[in-house]
Structure 1
Amino acid sequence: MHFTQLETFCAVAKVNSFSKAAKLLHLSQPTISSHIQYLENHYNILLFNRSNQGVTLTEAGKIVYEYAQKILKIQDDMERHLAIMAEVENHMLTVGASSAVGNHLMPCSIWKFNETFANSKIKLIVANSQEILEHVYENNIELGLIDGPIRGSPSDIFVKEIIEDKMVIIAPAKEPWVDLDVISISELIKLPFIIRETGSGVRNNFKAVLDKLSLKFSDFQNTTEMGSMDAIKTAVELGLGLSVIPLKAVEKEVRRGVLTALELKEDKMVYYCKMIYKKQNSKSKIAKRFIHFLASPGTHSYC
Protein backbone atom coordinates (compact mmCIF):
# COMPACT_ATOMS: atom_id res chain seq x y z
CA MET A 1 0.00 0.00 0.00
CA HIS A 2 1.14 3.57 -0.70
CA PHE A 3 0.24 5.08 2.67
CA THR A 4 2.87 7.84 2.58
CA GLN A 5 1.77 9.00 -0.86
CA LEU A 6 -1.90 8.84 0.13
CA GLU A 7 -1.24 10.94 3.24
CA THR A 8 0.53 13.52 1.09
CA PHE A 9 -2.30 13.44 -1.48
CA CYS A 10 -4.94 14.08 1.20
CA ALA A 11 -2.94 16.98 2.64
CA VAL A 12 -2.64 18.64 -0.79
CA ALA A 13 -6.36 18.09 -1.43
CA LYS A 14 -7.27 19.74 1.89
CA VAL A 15 -5.24 22.92 1.36
CA ASN A 16 -5.36 23.06 -2.48
CA SER A 17 -1.65 23.81 -2.65
CA PHE A 18 1.60 21.86 -2.97
CA SER A 19 3.57 24.55 -1.11
CA LYS A 20 1.08 24.77 1.79
CA ALA A 21 1.03 20.97 2.07
CA ALA A 22 4.84 20.98 2.16
CA LYS A 23 4.79 23.34 5.17
CA LEU A 24 2.02 21.35 6.84
CA LEU A 25 3.89 18.05 6.49
CA HIS A 26 7.38 19.53 7.03
CA LEU A 27 8.52 18.17 3.66
CA SER A 28 10.14 19.87 0.69
CA GLN A 29 7.91 20.86 -2.22
CA PRO A 30 9.80 18.54 -4.64
CA THR A 31 9.03 15.64 -2.27
CA ILE A 32 5.33 16.56 -2.29
CA SER A 33 5.37 16.73 -6.09
CA SER A 34 7.11 13.36 -6.38
CA HIS A 35 4.49 11.70 -4.14
CA ILE A 36 1.64 13.07 -6.25
CA GLN A 37 3.44 12.17 -9.48
CA TYR A 38 3.91 8.62 -8.16
CA LEU A 39 0.17 8.22 -7.58
CA GLU A 40 -0.73 9.74 -10.95
CA ASN A 41 1.70 7.41 -12.70
CA HIS A 42 0.52 4.41 -10.68
CA TYR A 43 -3.16 4.98 -11.48
CA ASN A 44 -2.36 6.43 -14.91
CA ILE A 45 -4.70 9.38 -14.44
CA LEU A 46 -4.48 13.07 -13.53
CA LEU A 47 -5.52 13.72 -9.91
CA PHE A 48 -5.11 17.51 -9.72
CA ASN A 49 -5.79 20.45 -12.01
CA ARG A 50 -2.80 22.80 -11.74
CA SER A 51 -2.99 26.60 -12.02
CA ASN A 52 -1.24 29.71 -10.73
CA GLN A 53 -3.89 29.93 -7.99
CA GLY A 54 -3.13 26.44 -6.68
CA VAL A 55 -4.52 22.97 -7.38
CA THR A 56 -8.00 21.46 -7.39
CA LEU A 57 -9.08 17.84 -7.53
CA THR A 58 -10.08 16.35 -10.85
CA GLU A 59 -13.10 14.04 -10.93
CA ALA A 60 -10.70 11.10 -10.61
CA GLY A 61 -8.95 12.92 -7.77
CA LYS A 62 -12.23 13.28 -5.88
CA ILE A 63 -12.75 9.52 -6.08
CA VAL A 64 -9.20 8.81 -4.89
CA TYR A 65 -9.61 11.33 -2.04
CA GLU A 66 -12.81 9.64 -0.84
CA TYR A 67 -11.18 6.22 -0.74
CA ALA A 68 -7.82 7.48 0.57
CA GLN A 69 -9.51 8.91 3.68
CA LYS A 70 -11.18 5.55 4.32
CA ILE A 71 -7.93 3.64 3.76
CA LEU A 72 -5.93 5.86 6.12
CA LYS A 73 -8.62 5.63 8.81
CA ILE A 74 -8.61 1.85 8.53
CA GLN A 75 -4.82 1.88 8.85
CA ASP A 76 -5.04 4.01 12.02
CA ASP A 77 -7.69 1.71 13.49
CA MET A 78 -5.60 -1.36 12.67
CA GLU A 79 -2.48 0.08 14.32
CA ARG A 80 -4.49 1.07 17.39
CA HIS A 81 -5.85 -2.46 17.78
CA LEU A 82 -2.44 -4.03 17.16
CA ALA A 83 -0.94 -1.78 19.81
CA ILE A 84 -3.43 -3.07 22.35
CA MET A 85 -2.63 -6.68 21.41
CA ALA A 86 1.10 -6.01 21.59
CA GLU A 87 0.69 -4.48 25.07
CA VAL A 88 2.99 -1.59 24.24
CA GLU A 89 1.89 0.03 27.48
CA ASN A 90 4.03 -2.42 29.46
CA HIS A 91 7.27 -0.79 28.31
CA MET A 92 8.63 2.67 29.01
CA LEU A 93 10.30 4.22 25.96
CA THR A 94 13.06 6.71 26.78
CA VAL A 95 13.57 9.26 24.00
CA GLY A 96 16.37 11.80 23.97
CA ALA A 97 16.06 15.05 22.02
CA SER A 98 18.21 18.10 21.45
CA SER A 99 16.94 21.37 22.90
CA ALA A 100 15.23 22.69 19.76
CA VAL A 101 13.61 19.35 18.98
CA GLY A 102 12.76 18.46 22.58
CA ASN A 103 11.16 21.79 23.41
CA HIS A 104 9.38 22.54 20.11
CA LEU A 105 8.67 19.22 18.36
CA MET A 106 8.48 16.35 20.80
CA PRO A 107 5.81 17.54 23.27
CA CYS A 108 3.11 17.72 20.59
CA SER A 109 4.46 14.69 18.71
CA ILE A 110 4.27 12.60 21.89
CA TRP A 111 0.77 13.92 22.57
CA LYS A 112 -0.36 12.94 19.05
CA PHE A 113 1.25 9.50 19.44
CA ASN A 114 -0.57 9.00 22.74
CA GLU A 115 -3.86 9.84 21.02
CA THR A 116 -3.37 6.73 18.86
CA PHE A 117 -1.66 4.55 21.49
CA ALA A 118 -3.41 5.71 24.63
CA ASN A 119 -1.53 3.44 27.06
CA SER A 120 1.98 4.16 25.83
CA LYS A 121 4.62 5.47 28.24
CA ILE A 122 7.32 7.80 26.93
CA LYS A 123 10.02 9.53 28.94
CA LEU A 124 11.65 12.53 27.25
CA ILE A 125 15.21 13.62 28.03
CA VAL A 126 16.34 17.01 26.66
CA ALA A 127 20.03 17.82 26.21
CA ASN A 128 22.28 19.13 23.44
CA SER A 129 22.86 17.09 20.28
CA GLN A 130 26.29 15.75 21.30
CA GLU A 131 24.97 14.54 24.67
CA ILE A 132 22.01 12.79 23.00
CA LEU A 133 24.35 11.07 20.55
CA GLU A 134 26.49 9.88 23.48
CA HIS A 135 23.38 8.59 25.30
CA VAL A 136 22.50 6.50 22.21
CA TYR A 137 26.06 5.13 21.97
CA GLU A 138 26.01 4.21 25.67
CA ASN A 139 22.56 2.55 25.39
CA ASN A 140 21.02 4.95 27.91
CA ILE A 141 18.18 5.70 25.50
CA GLU A 142 16.57 3.69 22.69
CA LEU A 143 15.93 6.60 20.36
CA GLY A 144 17.46 10.02 19.83
CA LEU A 145 16.43 13.09 17.85
CA ILE A 146 19.09 15.67 17.13
CA ASP A 147 19.39 18.79 14.99
CA GLY A 148 23.16 18.90 14.62
CA PRO A 149 25.46 17.31 12.04
CA ILE A 150 26.99 13.91 12.82
CA ARG A 151 30.72 13.76 12.22
CA GLY A 152 31.84 10.85 10.06
CA SER A 153 29.54 7.98 9.15
CA PRO A 154 29.16 5.74 12.22
CA SER A 155 28.40 2.25 10.92
CA ASP A 156 26.56 1.15 14.07
CA ILE A 157 24.13 4.10 14.18
CA PHE A 158 21.01 4.36 12.01
CA VAL A 159 20.41 7.97 10.91
CA LYS A 160 17.24 9.19 9.17
CA GLU A 161 16.41 12.80 8.32
CA ILE A 162 12.77 13.37 9.26
CA ILE A 163 12.11 17.13 9.38
CA GLU A 164 13.53 20.03 7.43
CA ASP A 165 13.83 23.38 9.21
CA LYS A 166 15.92 26.49 8.86
CA MET A 167 17.79 28.77 11.20
CA VAL A 168 17.33 32.52 11.37
CA ILE A 169 19.17 35.41 12.96
CA ILE A 170 17.09 36.90 15.78
CA ALA A 171 17.15 40.52 16.90
CA PRO A 172 15.01 42.71 19.20
CA ALA A 173 11.75 43.85 17.60
CA LYS A 174 12.79 47.49 17.54
CA GLU A 175 14.78 49.86 15.37
CA PRO A 176 16.82 49.25 13.32
CA TRP A 177 15.84 45.56 13.13
CA VAL A 178 12.07 45.65 13.04
CA ASP A 179 11.87 46.81 9.41
CA LEU A 180 14.63 44.51 8.11
CA ASP A 181 14.27 41.07 6.51
CA VAL A 182 17.93 40.17 5.91
CA ILE A 183 21.34 40.80 7.40
CA SER A 184 24.75 40.18 5.83
CA ILE A 185 27.49 38.22 7.53
CA SER A 186 29.80 41.24 7.28
CA GLU A 187 27.30 43.24 9.37
CA LEU A 188 26.68 40.38 11.79
CA ILE A 189 30.31 39.76 12.80
CA LYS A 190 30.63 43.40 13.93
CA LEU A 191 27.72 43.13 16.41
CA PRO A 192 27.44 41.51 19.85
CA PHE A 193 26.55 37.87 19.14
CA ILE A 194 25.20 35.13 21.43
CA ILE A 195 25.87 31.48 20.57
CA ARG A 196 24.93 28.13 22.09
CA GLU A 197 27.44 25.98 23.96
CA THR A 198 29.85 23.46 22.40
CA GLY A 199 27.97 20.27 21.47
CA SER A 200 24.78 22.12 20.54
CA GLY A 201 23.24 21.25 17.18
CA VAL A 202 22.44 24.91 16.51
CA ARG A 203 26.07 25.86 17.13
CA ASN A 204 27.38 23.08 14.87
CA ASN A 205 24.91 23.90 12.11
CA PHE A 206 25.90 27.57 12.22
CA LYS A 207 29.59 26.59 12.26
CA ALA A 208 28.94 24.69 9.01
CA VAL A 209 27.50 27.90 7.53
CA LEU A 210 30.54 29.87 8.67
CA ASP A 211 32.85 27.21 7.19
CA LYS A 212 31.20 27.73 3.79
CA LEU A 213 31.84 31.47 4.16
CA SER A 214 35.47 30.89 5.26
CA LEU A 215 34.78 32.36 8.69
CA LYS A 216 35.18 31.24 12.33
CA PHE A 217 33.52 32.24 15.61
CA SER A 218 36.76 34.07 16.47
CA ASP A 219 36.04 36.44 13.57
CA PHE A 220 33.10 37.89 15.55
CA GLN A 221 34.15 40.99 17.46
CA ASN A 222 32.03 40.23 20.56
CA THR A 223 30.56 36.81 21.44
CA THR A 224 28.78 35.40 24.48
CA GLU A 225 28.03 31.71 25.04
CA MET A 226 24.77 30.52 26.64
CA GLY A 227 23.52 26.98 27.24
CA SER A 228 19.79 27.62 26.91
CA MET A 229 17.66 28.81 23.99
CA ASP A 230 15.26 30.49 26.42
CA ALA A 231 18.16 32.42 27.97
CA ILE A 232 19.34 33.44 24.50
CA LYS A 233 15.88 34.64 23.46
CA THR A 234 15.57 36.69 26.66
CA ALA A 235 19.02 38.21 26.17
CA VAL A 236 18.24 39.15 22.56
CA GLU A 237 14.87 40.64 23.57
CA LEU A 238 16.70 42.81 26.11
CA GLY A 239 19.01 44.08 23.38
CA LEU A 240 22.18 42.34 24.62
CA GLY A 241 23.06 40.95 21.20
CA LEU A 242 21.86 39.00 18.17
CA SER A 243 21.82 35.23 17.86
CA VAL A 244 21.03 32.30 15.57
CA ILE A 245 18.19 29.92 16.34
CA PRO A 246 15.86 27.42 14.60
CA LEU A 247 12.86 29.22 13.10
CA LYS A 248 10.36 26.91 14.79
CA ALA A 249 11.87 27.73 18.18
CA VAL A 250 11.15 31.44 17.86
CA GLU A 251 7.85 31.61 15.94
CA LYS A 252 5.80 32.46 19.05
CA GLU A 253 8.07 35.37 19.98
CA VAL A 254 8.02 36.68 16.41
CA ARG A 255 4.19 36.49 16.31
CA ARG A 256 3.99 38.30 19.66
CA GLY A 257 6.25 41.04 18.31
CA VAL A 258 9.05 40.75 20.87
CA LEU A 259 11.68 39.37 18.47
CA THR A 260 12.45 39.82 14.78
CA ALA A 261 13.66 36.96 12.55
CA LEU A 262 16.16 37.86 9.84
CA GLU A 263 17.44 35.79 6.93
CA LEU A 264 21.20 35.56 6.50
CA LYS A 265 21.92 37.17 3.13
CA GLU A 266 24.61 34.67 2.11
CA ASP A 267 22.93 31.38 3.11
CA LYS A 268 19.43 29.94 3.67
CA MET A 269 20.73 27.99 6.71
CA VAL A 270 18.55 24.90 6.10
CA TYR A 271 19.17 21.84 8.29
CA TYR A 272 17.45 18.55 9.15
CA CYS A 273 16.25 16.99 12.37
CA LYS A 274 17.64 13.44 12.46
CA MET A 275 16.31 10.32 14.14
CA ILE A 276 19.11 8.07 15.45
CA TYR A 277 19.32 4.68 17.14
CA LYS A 278 21.70 1.74 17.50
CA LYS A 279 21.37 -0.66 14.56
CA GLN A 280 22.25 -3.85 16.42
CA ASN A 281 20.00 -3.26 19.43
CA SER A 282 16.64 -5.04 19.44
CA LYS A 283 13.78 -2.54 19.54
CA SER A 284 10.85 -2.69 21.94
CA LYS A 285 7.39 -2.77 20.36
CA ILE A 286 6.64 0.78 21.44
CA ALA A 287 10.01 1.95 20.02
CA LYS A 288 9.20 0.38 16.64
CA ARG A 289 5.80 2.05 16.57
CA PHE A 290 7.18 5.43 17.61
CA ILE A 291 9.94 5.22 14.99
CA HIS A 292 7.33 4.44 12.32
CA PHE A 293 5.18 7.30 13.62
CA LEU A 294 8.01 9.84 13.43
CA ALA A 295 9.12 8.64 9.99
CA SER A 296 5.63 9.12 8.50
CA PRO A 297 4.78 12.52 6.95
CA GLY A 298 2.28 14.74 8.71
CA THR A 299 2.87 13.35 12.21
CA HIS A 300 4.96 16.22 13.56
CA SER A 301 3.43 19.13 15.40
CA TYR A 302 5.36 21.99 16.97
CA CYS A 303 4.13 23.63 20.14
Structure 2
Amino acid sequence: MDQQLRVFISVVEKQSFSRAAEELHMTQPAVSQYIRTFEGNLGMKLLDRTNKYVRLNKAGEIVYHHAKEIVGLYARMENLLMDLTNKVSGVLSIGSSYTFGEYVLPHVIANMKKSYPEVHPSVTIENTEKIAELVKGHQIDIGIIEGNIKEDSQLEKEDFLEDRMVIVASFNNSLTQNKGTIDLGELERQTWILREEGSGTREAGEKIFQRLGIRPTNLMVFSSTQSIKEAVIAGLGVSLLSEIAVQKELLHNNMKIIEVEGLPYTRNFSIITASPYQTKALQELIRMLKEYGLKRG
Protein backbone atom coordinates (compact mmCIF):
# COMPACT_ATOMS: atom_id res chain seq x y z
CA MET A 1 0.00 0.00 0.00
CA ASP A 2 2.87 2.39 0.81
CA GLN A 3 4.29 2.11 -2.72
CA GLN A 4 0.82 2.49 -4.23
CA LEU A 5 0.42 5.76 -2.31
CA ARG A 6 3.79 7.03 -3.49
CA VAL A 7 3.03 6.17 -7.13
CA PHE A 8 -0.40 7.79 -6.89
CA ILE A 9 1.05 10.98 -5.37
CA SER A 10 3.73 11.18 -8.06
CA VAL A 11 1.20 10.78 -10.90
CA VAL A 12 -0.98 13.52 -9.39
CA GLU A 13 1.87 15.97 -8.84
CA LYS A 14 3.52 15.31 -12.20
CA GLN A 15 0.12 15.23 -13.96
CA SER A 16 1.52 12.49 -16.14
CA PHE A 17 2.10 8.72 -16.01
CA SER A 18 5.29 9.00 -18.04
CA ARG A 19 6.80 11.79 -15.90
CA ALA A 20 5.87 9.88 -12.74
CA ALA A 21 7.53 6.75 -14.15
CA GLU A 22 10.68 8.77 -14.84
CA GLU A 23 10.73 10.23 -11.31
CA LEU A 24 10.17 6.81 -9.70
CA HIS A 25 12.60 4.98 -12.03
CA MET A 26 9.81 2.67 -13.19
CA THR A 27 8.28 1.79 -16.53
CA GLN A 28 5.07 3.54 -17.56
CA PRO A 29 3.12 0.23 -17.72
CA ALA A 30 4.21 -0.52 -14.13
CA VAL A 31 2.94 2.87 -12.97
CA SER A 32 -0.37 2.28 -14.77
CA GLN A 33 -0.70 -1.12 -13.09
CA TYR A 34 -0.09 0.36 -9.64
CA ILE A 35 -2.83 2.95 -10.23
CA ARG A 36 -5.29 0.32 -11.52
CA THR A 37 -4.60 -1.89 -8.49
CA PHE A 38 -4.93 1.07 -6.10
CA GLU A 39 -8.24 2.14 -7.63
CA GLY A 40 -9.42 -1.48 -7.60
CA ASN A 41 -8.62 -1.83 -3.89
CA LEU A 42 -10.59 1.33 -3.12
CA GLY A 43 -13.42 0.39 -5.44
CA MET A 44 -13.54 3.64 -7.39
CA LYS A 45 -11.76 5.75 -9.99
CA LEU A 46 -9.51 8.49 -8.64
CA LEU A 47 -8.21 10.08 -11.83
CA ASP A 48 -9.78 11.52 -14.96
CA ARG A 49 -7.32 10.84 -17.76
CA THR A 50 -7.10 11.43 -21.49
CA ASN A 51 -4.21 11.54 -23.95
CA LYS A 52 -3.67 15.18 -22.97
CA TYR A 53 -4.05 15.31 -19.19
CA VAL A 54 -4.36 13.48 -15.86
CA ARG A 55 -6.60 15.14 -13.27
CA LEU A 56 -8.02 14.30 -9.86
CA ASN A 57 -11.74 13.72 -9.58
CA LYS A 58 -13.62 14.35 -6.31
CA ALA A 59 -12.69 10.95 -4.86
CA GLY A 60 -9.09 11.48 -5.94
CA GLU A 61 -8.90 14.83 -4.14
CA ILE A 62 -9.92 13.14 -0.87
CA VAL A 63 -7.43 10.31 -1.34
CA TYR A 64 -4.59 12.63 -2.38
CA HIS A 65 -4.99 14.83 0.71
CA HIS A 66 -4.89 11.83 3.06
CA ALA A 67 -2.18 10.05 1.07
CA LYS A 68 0.17 12.99 1.60
CA GLU A 69 -0.53 12.92 5.32
CA ILE A 70 -0.07 9.13 5.56
CA VAL A 71 3.24 9.18 3.68
CA GLY A 72 4.46 12.05 5.88
CA LEU A 73 3.55 10.19 9.07
CA TYR A 74 5.20 7.00 7.78
CA ALA A 75 8.43 8.86 7.03
CA ARG A 76 8.37 10.43 10.49
CA MET A 77 7.89 6.98 12.07
CA GLU A 78 10.91 5.64 10.15
CA ASN A 79 13.02 8.61 11.28
CA LEU A 80 12.02 8.14 14.91
CA LEU A 81 13.00 4.48 14.71
CA MET A 82 16.34 5.47 13.21
CA ASP A 83 16.85 7.74 16.23
CA LEU A 84 17.16 4.65 18.40
CA THR A 85 20.68 4.36 17.01
CA ASN A 86 21.42 7.73 18.73
CA LYS A 87 22.52 9.27 15.44
CA VAL A 88 21.35 12.65 14.13
CA SER A 89 20.33 11.51 10.67
CA GLY A 90 17.46 10.97 8.28
CA VAL A 91 15.12 13.04 6.14
CA LEU A 92 14.01 16.40 7.57
CA SER A 93 11.18 18.22 5.79
CA ILE A 94 11.20 21.96 6.47
CA GLY A 95 8.68 24.57 5.44
CA SER A 96 9.38 28.29 5.59
CA SER A 97 7.76 31.55 4.65
CA TYR A 98 9.58 33.51 1.97
CA THR A 99 11.66 36.03 3.91
CA PHE A 100 13.31 33.56 6.28
CA GLY A 101 13.34 30.76 3.73
CA GLU A 102 15.11 32.78 1.04
CA TYR A 103 17.57 34.82 3.10
CA VAL A 104 18.38 32.95 6.33
CA LEU A 105 17.38 29.28 6.18
CA PRO A 106 19.99 28.24 3.56
CA HIS A 107 22.77 29.37 5.92
CA VAL A 108 21.25 27.52 8.90
CA ILE A 109 20.95 24.34 6.84
CA ALA A 110 24.54 24.69 5.57
CA ASN A 111 25.78 24.85 9.17
CA MET A 112 23.66 21.84 10.09
CA LYS A 113 25.02 19.78 7.18
CA LYS A 114 28.58 20.50 8.32
CA SER A 115 27.84 19.02 11.73
CA TYR A 116 25.40 16.32 10.65
CA PRO A 117 26.08 15.19 7.07
CA GLU A 118 23.64 12.29 7.38
CA VAL A 119 20.68 14.66 7.75
CA HIS A 120 18.91 15.17 4.43
CA PRO A 121 16.77 18.33 4.47
CA SER A 122 14.05 19.12 1.96
CA VAL A 123 12.65 22.66 1.90
CA THR A 124 9.26 24.02 0.89
CA ILE A 125 8.92 27.82 0.50
CA GLU A 126 5.36 29.14 0.72
CA ASN A 127 3.44 31.91 2.43
CA THR A 128 2.70 31.70 6.15
CA GLU A 129 -0.86 30.43 5.71
CA LYS A 130 0.22 27.56 3.45
CA ILE A 131 3.13 26.52 5.69
CA ALA A 132 0.81 26.29 8.70
CA GLU A 133 -1.55 24.11 6.65
CA LEU A 134 1.29 21.74 5.64
CA VAL A 135 2.52 21.39 9.23
CA LYS A 136 -0.98 20.69 10.49
CA GLY A 137 -1.43 18.05 7.78
CA HIS A 138 1.87 16.36 8.79
CA GLN A 139 3.26 16.94 5.31
CA ILE A 140 6.32 18.73 6.72
CA ASP A 141 8.10 18.34 10.08
CA ILE A 142 8.50 22.01 10.97
CA GLY A 143 7.36 25.40 9.77
CA ILE A 144 9.18 28.72 10.13
CA ILE A 145 6.71 31.55 9.68
CA GLU A 146 6.41 35.31 9.92
CA GLY A 147 3.37 37.03 11.37
CA ASN A 148 0.37 35.42 13.01
CA ILE A 149 -1.72 32.32 12.34
CA LYS A 150 -5.11 31.33 13.66
CA GLU A 151 -4.97 29.68 17.07
CA ASP A 152 -5.03 25.92 16.66
CA SER A 153 -4.72 23.29 19.37
CA GLN A 154 -2.90 21.00 16.90
CA LEU A 155 -0.04 23.45 16.39
CA GLU A 156 2.75 24.41 18.79
CA LYS A 157 4.11 27.91 18.07
CA GLU A 158 7.24 29.48 19.54
CA ASP A 159 8.76 32.86 18.66
CA PHE A 160 12.54 32.78 18.23
CA LEU A 161 13.61 35.90 16.30
CA GLU A 162 12.49 39.52 16.13
CA ASP A 163 12.32 41.05 12.66
CA ARG A 164 12.29 44.76 11.76
CA MET A 165 10.08 45.86 8.86
CA VAL A 166 10.98 49.04 6.95
CA ILE A 167 9.50 51.04 4.07
CA VAL A 168 11.88 51.10 1.11
CA ALA A 169 12.00 52.90 -2.23
CA SER A 170 14.46 53.48 -5.06
CA PHE A 171 16.84 56.46 -4.89
CA ASN A 172 14.85 58.11 -7.70
CA ASN A 173 11.62 58.11 -5.69
CA SER A 174 10.52 61.58 -4.55
CA LEU A 175 10.17 60.39 -0.95
CA THR A 176 13.85 59.46 -0.72
CA GLN A 177 14.80 62.99 -1.80
CA ASN A 178 12.83 64.50 1.08
CA LYS A 179 15.11 65.34 4.01
CA GLY A 180 12.31 66.60 6.24
CA THR A 181 9.19 64.99 7.67
CA ILE A 182 7.50 62.58 5.30
CA ASP A 183 4.09 63.74 4.05
CA LEU A 184 1.75 60.85 4.84
CA GLY A 185 -0.55 61.98 2.04
CA GLU A 186 2.25 61.59 -0.48
CA LEU A 187 3.12 58.21 1.06
CA GLU A 188 -0.50 57.12 0.68
CA ARG A 189 -0.54 58.13 -3.01
CA GLN A 190 2.49 56.01 -3.80
CA THR A 191 2.16 52.72 -5.67
CA TRP A 192 2.56 50.08 -2.96
CA ILE A 193 4.13 46.79 -4.01
CA LEU A 194 2.90 44.06 -1.69
CA ARG A 195 2.79 40.30 -1.24
CA GLU A 196 -0.39 38.25 -1.71
CA GLU A 197 -3.09 37.69 0.92
CA GLY A 198 -2.03 35.00 3.41
CA SER A 199 1.57 36.25 3.50
CA GLY A 200 3.06 37.42 6.80
CA THR A 201 4.67 40.35 4.97
CA ARG A 202 1.27 41.38 3.57
CA GLU A 203 -0.20 41.16 7.08
CA ALA A 204 2.55 43.48 8.34
CA GLY A 205 1.81 45.93 5.52
CA GLU A 206 -1.87 46.10 6.43
CA LYS A 207 -0.97 46.78 10.07
CA ILE A 208 1.38 49.60 9.03
CA PHE A 209 -1.40 51.23 7.02
CA GLN A 210 -3.59 51.16 10.11
CA ARG A 211 -0.82 52.52 12.33
CA LEU A 212 -0.09 55.42 9.97
CA GLY A 213 -3.77 56.08 9.22
CA ILE A 214 -3.38 55.73 5.44
CA ARG A 215 -5.38 53.76 2.88
CA PRO A 216 -3.34 53.32 -0.31
CA THR A 217 -5.47 52.43 -3.33
CA ASN A 218 -2.75 51.94 -5.93
CA LEU A 219 -1.49 48.44 -5.16
CA MET A 220 0.64 45.94 -7.07
CA VAL A 221 0.87 42.34 -5.86
CA PHE A 222 3.88 40.04 -6.35
CA SER A 223 4.22 36.49 -5.05
CA SER A 224 7.84 36.65 -3.88
CA THR A 225 10.08 39.00 -1.93
CA GLN A 226 12.76 38.94 -4.63
CA SER A 227 10.36 40.17 -7.32
CA ILE A 228 9.16 42.95 -5.00
CA LYS A 229 12.74 44.10 -4.46
CA GLU A 230 13.38 44.21 -8.20
CA ALA A 231 10.16 46.18 -8.71
CA VAL A 232 11.19 48.71 -6.05
CA ILE A 233 14.68 49.08 -7.56
CA ALA A 234 13.08 49.60 -11.00
CA GLY A 235 11.11 52.52 -9.56
CA LEU A 236 7.63 50.98 -9.71
CA GLY A 237 6.78 52.06 -6.17
CA VAL A 238 7.46 51.56 -2.47
CA SER A 239 7.16 48.50 -0.26
CA LEU A 240 7.38 47.30 3.33
CA LEU A 241 10.04 44.60 3.64
CA SER A 242 12.14 42.89 6.28
CA GLU A 243 15.53 44.47 6.93
CA ILE A 244 16.92 40.93 6.63
CA ALA A 245 15.72 40.78 3.02
CA VAL A 246 17.14 44.14 1.88
CA GLN A 247 20.57 44.21 3.55
CA LYS A 248 22.50 43.78 0.29
CA GLU A 249 20.40 46.33 -1.59
CA LEU A 250 20.88 48.92 1.16
CA LEU A 251 24.62 48.23 1.27
CA HIS A 252 24.96 48.70 -2.49
CA ASN A 253 22.69 51.78 -2.53
CA ASN A 254 20.09 50.13 -4.78
CA MET A 255 17.30 51.29 -2.49
CA LYS A 256 16.80 53.46 0.57
CA ILE A 257 14.77 53.24 3.77
CA ILE A 258 12.07 55.91 4.07
CA GLU A 259 12.14 57.14 7.66
CA VAL A 260 8.60 57.48 8.99
CA GLU A 261 7.56 58.20 12.57
CA GLY A 262 6.32 55.02 14.24
CA LEU A 263 8.63 52.75 12.24
CA PRO A 264 10.36 50.35 12.03
CA TYR A 265 7.58 47.89 12.70
CA THR A 266 8.66 44.73 14.51
CA ARG A 267 7.22 41.24 14.20
CA ASN A 268 8.44 37.76 15.10
CA PHE A 269 9.63 34.75 13.20
CA SER A 270 8.13 31.65 14.80
CA ILE A 271 8.68 27.89 14.81
CA ILE A 272 5.54 25.76 14.42
CA THR A 273 5.25 21.99 14.85
CA ALA A 274 2.34 19.57 15.08
CA SER A 275 3.76 16.30 16.39
CA PRO A 276 4.83 15.71 20.01
CA TYR A 277 7.40 13.21 18.69
CA GLN A 278 10.50 14.96 17.38
CA THR A 279 13.42 13.24 15.70
CA LYS A 280 16.94 14.11 16.83
CA ALA A 281 17.44 15.91 13.52
CA LEU A 282 14.39 18.09 14.15
CA GLN A 283 15.45 18.79 17.73
CA GLU A 284 18.88 19.85 16.49
CA LEU A 285 17.40 22.15 13.83
CA ILE A 286 15.18 23.82 16.44
CA ARG A 287 18.22 24.30 18.70
CA MET A 288 20.16 25.93 15.85
CA LEU A 289 17.25 28.23 14.95
CA LYS A 290 16.97 29.42 18.55
CA GLU A 291 20.72 29.90 18.71
CA TYR A 292 20.53 32.04 15.55
CA GLY A 293 17.74 34.08 17.15
CA LEU A 294 19.82 34.71 20.28
CA LYS A 295 22.81 35.88 18.21
CA ARG A 296 20.63 38.29 16.23
CA GLY A 297 18.78 39.52 19.33
TM-score, normalization by structure 1: 0.64
Map 1:1-303 to 2 at 5 A. Answer: 86-89=86-89, 91-151=90-150, 153-174=151-172, 176-179=174-177, 183=182, 185-215=184-214, 219-278=215-274, 280-297=275-292
Q: CA deviation at 1:290?
A: 1.1
Structure 1: state its 5+ residue gaps: 1-82
Higher strand proportion: 1
Q: CA deviation at 1:297?
A: 4.8
Change (3 A) 1:189 1:237: same
SS in 2 for 1:174: coil
Q: CA deviation at 1:214?
A: 5.0
Cα distance between partner residues in 2 of 1:289 and 1:179 = 47
CA deviation string 1:209-261 (max 9, x = no partner) = 3334455xxx2131111111111111111111111111110110111111112
Structure 2: state its 5+ residue gaps: 1-82
Change (3 A) 1:222 1:296: same
Change (3 A) 1:131 1:146: same
Looking at both structures, which has the greater relative contact order when contacts are Cα pairs under 8 Å and sequence separation is at least 6?
Answer: 1
Question: Does the 8 A contact of 2:161 with 2:269 survive in 1?
Answer: yes
Matched-pair identity in %:
25
SS in 2 for 1:266: coil
CA deviation string 1:103-124 (max 9, x = no partner) = 0110001111222223221111
Q: CA deviation at 1:299?
A: 7.2
Question: What's the C-alpha RMSD, in Å, of the aligned pairs?
Answer: 2.4
Question: Does the 8 A contact of 2:166 with 2:263 survive in 1?
Answer: no
Cα distance between partner residues in 2 of 1:87 and 1:101 = 28
SS in 1 for 2:123: strand
Cα distance between partner residues in 2 of 1:276 and 1:185 = 37
Aligned letter for 1:294?
L
Cα distance between partner residues in 1 of 2:102 and 2:261 = 28
